[in-house]
Structure 1
Amino acid sequence: MSKVAFITGASRGIGRETALAFARAGFDLAISARSLDEGESHRHGLRNPDGTALPGSLNGTAAAIRELGRKARVVPMDLLDSESVLAASEAVFAEYGRVDVLVNNAIYQGSDLNLPFMELQPETLQRVFQGYVLTPFLLTRAVVARMLEQGGGVVINVTSGAGETDPPVAAGKGGWGYAYGAGKAAVSRLSGILSIELGEQGIRAYTLNPGVVTTEALLATIGDKGVIALRAGSAPPEVPAAVMLWLATNEAARDYQRQTIHCQPFAREHGIVADWR
């Protein structure tokens, strides 16, 4: 029986590349996001500066997975809709009967996410709570319950430096705001709890900080010139994808729980991506 990886936020960027990395390694995939087809735009979604939707879609990722000879189950999921999250979990288990790896990669990316503190509204924090705390809790609890029945599994939670440190400059001048920092801080705490409480029952859990990654979302946020300026300190999405595959499949990865793994130096130290510097 093939192992199954469930990747959220897999329509583009890190999520898409992670799904493809697992497919190449022989996993069947369940993938979720809001954008089923190319060109869709959503309320509270990130857009290009010209107002168009970011490139990428779940069906596009699924087609690429199938070209690699693996199964792909597309499950639409909106982080701001708890019912869609639980329905997605049920659909995945109905299709495959198991999940061996869950990657919590999807995030709420509304344009209000990094507003300065005095401009921040309670409605934004309510969405952040839904997208960064409640939804990962609901999905992870539903999936881990079945992992415990099958004898174990791996959970990887994708965080950010915004959840671990203060911004270098103010929001609006290139730094992150309180809403995003608070959301990612919550994500950073989940894996350690799972490892401590459920590790003896076969659950392994990791917190991964990808660092600056040149995704479609980054391009939409800072533009071509900004990406060029960051290139020396950034990585393509294939790098965090390869690190997550390593964490999920390498026995030595057990020693890297209960800490934040800083993806790019970690990849170099362990030689995970041989042709990337």
Structure 2
Amino acid sequence: MKKVAFITGASRGIGRATAIAFARAGFDIAISARTLESGEEFEHSVRKADGRPLDGSLNATATEARELGAQVQVLRMDLLDSGSVQQAAQQVLQHFGRIDVLINNAVYQGADLNQTFMELQPDTLERIAQGYILAPFLLTRAVMPAMLEQGAGVVINITSAAGESDPPVAADRGGWGYAYGAGKAAVSRLSGILSRELGEQGIQAFTVNPGVITTETLKETIGDKGVLALSNQTAPPELPAAVFVWLATDVAAWDYQFRTINAQSFAREKGIAADCN
């Protein structure tokens, strides 16, 4: 029986690359996001400069993964809707009967995400709490009984520098705001709890900081000139995806729990290459 990886936020960016990487590694996959078809519009989303939605969709990701031989389940899931999150987990378990790897990649990306402290409103923090704390908790909690029954399971949570340190400059000058920093700080704490409490029952959990990744969102946020200026500090989405596969499949991965793994330096250390084909 093939193993199953469930990747959230898989319509584009790191999530899409991760789905393709696990399909290439021989997994069947479940993928979720809000965008089933390219061009769909949603409240609280990053857009192109002309107002159009970003490119990418779950169905496009699924087509690529199926060409690699994977069975793919496509699920529309909204992090800001707890019922949607819980239903997605139930559907994956009903369809495949198991989940071996959970990648908590999806995040809330509203335009208010990095407002300055004095501009920040309570409703933004409510969305952060829902998207960065409650949704990953609900999803992980929903799949955990199946992982425990299997006697094995891997959970990978995606953090960022904002969850690990203070911003280099103020939010209105290119740094991150309190809302995003608080959300990612919460993400950074989940894996260690899972490993400490459930590790003896076969659960492995990892916290990974991808670094600056040239996703569609980054390109629209900082533009081509910004990407060029950061070129020596960036990596394609396929690089963290390759790191996730290594963590989920290599027997040596156990030793990399209880820390934040910086994907780009880790890939260099382990000789992990991004497959961009």
Alignment size in residue pairs: 276
Q: Which SS does the other structure have where 2:168 is aligned?
A: coil
Q: Distance in 2 between matches of 1:171 and 1:145?
A: 40
Q: Which SS does the other structure have where 1:182 is aligned?
A: helix
Q: Distance in 1 between matches of 2:274 and 2:174?
A: 32
Name the counterpart of 1:207. Answer: 207
Q: Which SS does the other structure have where 2:118 is aligned?
A: helix
Name the counterpart of 1:84. Answer: 84
Q: Which SS does the other structure have where 2:171 is aligned?
A: coil
Name the counterpart of 2:270. Answer: 270
What is the CA distance between 1:275 and its match in structure 2?
Answer: 8.3
Q: Distance in 1 between matches of 2:246 and 2:88?
A: 26
Name the counterpart of 1:238. Answer: 238
What is the CA distance between 1:55 and its match in structure 2?
Answer: 0.5
What is the CA distance between 1:274 and its match in structure 2?
Answer: 7.1
* Letter in structure 2 aligned against 1:240: P
Q: Distance in 2 between matches of 1:168 and 1:52?
A: 31
Name the counterpart of 1:27. Answer: 27
* Letter in structure 2 aligned against 1:110: G
1:141-171 CA-to-partner distances (Å, cap 9, x unmatched) read: 0111210011110000000000000000000
- After TM superposition, the structure 1 = structure 2 runs for residues 12-51 of structure 1, keeping only pairs within 5 Å, are 12-51=12-51
Q: Which SS does the other structure have where 2:204 is aligned?
A: strand
Q: Distance in 2 between matches of 1:274 and 1:152?
A: 26
Match status 1:148 vs 2:148: yes
Which ranges of structure 1 fall in alignment gaps of 5 or more residues? Answer: none
Which ranges of structure 2 fall in alignment gaps of 5 or more residues? Answer: none
1:156-207 CA-to-partner distances (Å, cap 9, x unmatched) read: 0000000000000000111000000000000000000000000000000000
Contact kept in structure 1, 2:238 and 2:275, CA below 8 Å: no
Name the counterpart of 1:249. Answer: 249
Q: Distance in 2 between matches of 1:220 and 1:31?
A: 23
* Letter in structure 2 aligned against 1:254: W
- After TM superposition, the structure 1 = structure 2 runs for residues 60-79 of structure 1, keeping only pairs within 5 Å, are 60-79=60-79
1:231-270 CA-to-partner distances (Å, cap 9, x unmatched) read: 1100000100000000000000100001000010000011
Q: Distance in 2 between matches of 1:265 and 1:65?
A: 27
Q: Which SS does the other structure have where 1:118 is aligned?
A: coil
Q: Which SS does the other structure have where 1:5 is aligned?
A: strand
Contact kept in structure 1, 2:14 and 2:240, CA below 8 Å: yes
Q: Distance in 2 between matches of 1:210 and 1:237?
A: 9
1:27-59 CA-to-partner distances (Å, cap 9, x unmatched) read: 000000000000112101111121110110000
Contact kept in structure 1, 2:242 and 2:275, CA below 8 Å: no
Match status 1:127 vs 2:123: no
Q: Distance in 1 between matches of 2:36 and 2:158?
A: 22
Moved over 4 A (4+): none
| CA RMSD across the alignment | 1.0
CA 1:85–1:202 in structure 2 vs 1: closer, same or farther (change >3 Å)?
Answer: same
Name the counterpart of 1:97. Answer: 97
Name the counterpart of 2:175. Answer: 175
Query: TM-score, length-normalised on structure 2?
Result: 0.98
Q: Distance in 1 between matches of 2:65 and 2:265?
A: 28
What is the CA distance between 1:112 and its match in structure 2?
Answer: 0.1
Q: Distance in 2 between matches of 1:182 and 1:5?
A: 27
Contact kept in structure 1, 2:239 and 2:275, CA below 8 Å: no
